[in-house]
Amino acid sequence: MTLGLLSRQRWRIATTLSAVMVVAYFGFVLLVAFDKPLVGTIIGPGLSLGVLLGALLIVAAWIVTWIYVRWANTHLDRRVSELRAQGPAP
């Protein structure tokens, strides 16, 4: 594996996970902006759909971060170590 290939893989993972979060955040903001009655729907005592979705958005951010850290720890770090062991490129 080359450094360029490894860099492209890292870029692809980071871009994909970033896009997931951007879509989630903007989706939430657009939902609040354009469908207030839906977001204001009361699900339980003191809990609206908007509050629940906001909390789930925070949980989603933690999950996406965990996915990246797990990928980096299991794949990226191992491959970087392999490249370092090979020594400098000719």
Here the tokens at position 73 are: 């720890």
Kindly report the CA angle at 83 between 76 and 77, in degrees rounded to 5? 20
Distance between CA atoms of 25 and 58, rounded to whole angstroms?
A: 10
Average pLDDT of span 11-30 = 96
Quick: pLDDT tens for 24-54. Answer: 999 999 999 999 999 999 999 999 999 999 9
Distance between CA atoms of 88 and 43, rounded to whole angstroms?
A: 60
User: In this structure, are residues 6 and 83 in contact, taking their beta carbons and an 8 Å threshold?
Assistant: yes
Domain segments of the chain as ranges: 3-85
